[in-house]
Amino acid sequence: MTVGTERRTPSESELGALIGTPFPGGEATLEPWWVHLVLDSMLADPADGGAHPVLVFLVATGSMGWSWDELFALFGASDADGPMAGETDTVVYSPLRVGGTYRVSGEIVSAVRKVGRRTGVFDIVGYRLDLHDSEGAHCASTTNSIVFPRRGEQL
């Protein structure tokens, strides 16, 4: 699916219709230098290698097939709207390995409009990304939510 650049806040029904939208997906190989530098940047021990569980999110989102801008655009938003991370839930069935190649796939799993007394209207969008190794084994899954403020919108 190609994401257009037009920005318009989706209606509530349009928002709901986006549930089930698949990510284009992709593939990533855990290069030793990349793993080392990422872990060092996060004050983690590079000796942990691919097993550090935070790598699941980085590999998954890095090869989901869309840039963050494209994912935001699917929901009529951009960086300038101030989208925020809501929650994350990551399951590791088998630790990732340096040198391993992983296929990333996933979909939009939830999208709901809410209104807060102070925050006004906002949308919470959930997405799940799965990592399979080159043998097809399901290695990890990460489910995350993004909060999109809808300033100026009313329910």
Partner 1 sequence: MRPTVGQKIPVRIIDSVDPARMKTLSALMRDPNPIHFDRSVASALGLGDRTVNQGPSNIAYVMSMLGNWAGGTDRITRYRFRFLGNVFAGDRLQASGTVTAVDETPEGLLVQCELALDVVDGARVLEGTGTVRLPVDN
Which residue among 19, 26, 34, 121 contacts partner 1 (CB under 8 A)?
34
The verdict on 44 binding partner 1 (CB under 8 A) reads yes
Q: How far apart are CA 102 and CA 57, in angstroms?
A: 12
**Separation of first and last alpha carbons in the chain:** 29
The widest CA-to-CA distance across the chain, in whole angstroms, is 51
The verdict on 17 binding partner 1 (CB under 8 A) reads no
The verdict on 90 binding partner 1 (CB under 8 A) reads yes
Q: How far apart are CA 8 and CA 76, in angstroms?
A: 5
- The interface region with partner 1, picked from 9-17, 66-74, 100-108, 116-124 by CB under 8 A, is 66-74
CB 76, CB 8: distance < 8 Å: yes
The verdict on 85 binding partner 1 (CB under 8 A) reads yes
Which residue among 6, 45, 117, 154 contacts partner 1 (CB under 8 A)?
45
The verdict on 82 binding partner 1 (CB under 8 A) reads yes
Q: How far apart are CA 126 and CA 89, in angstroms?
A: 11
Site residues (CB under 8 A) for partner 1? 34, 37-45, 48, 51-54, 57-58, 61-62, 67-69, 79, 82, 84-93, 95
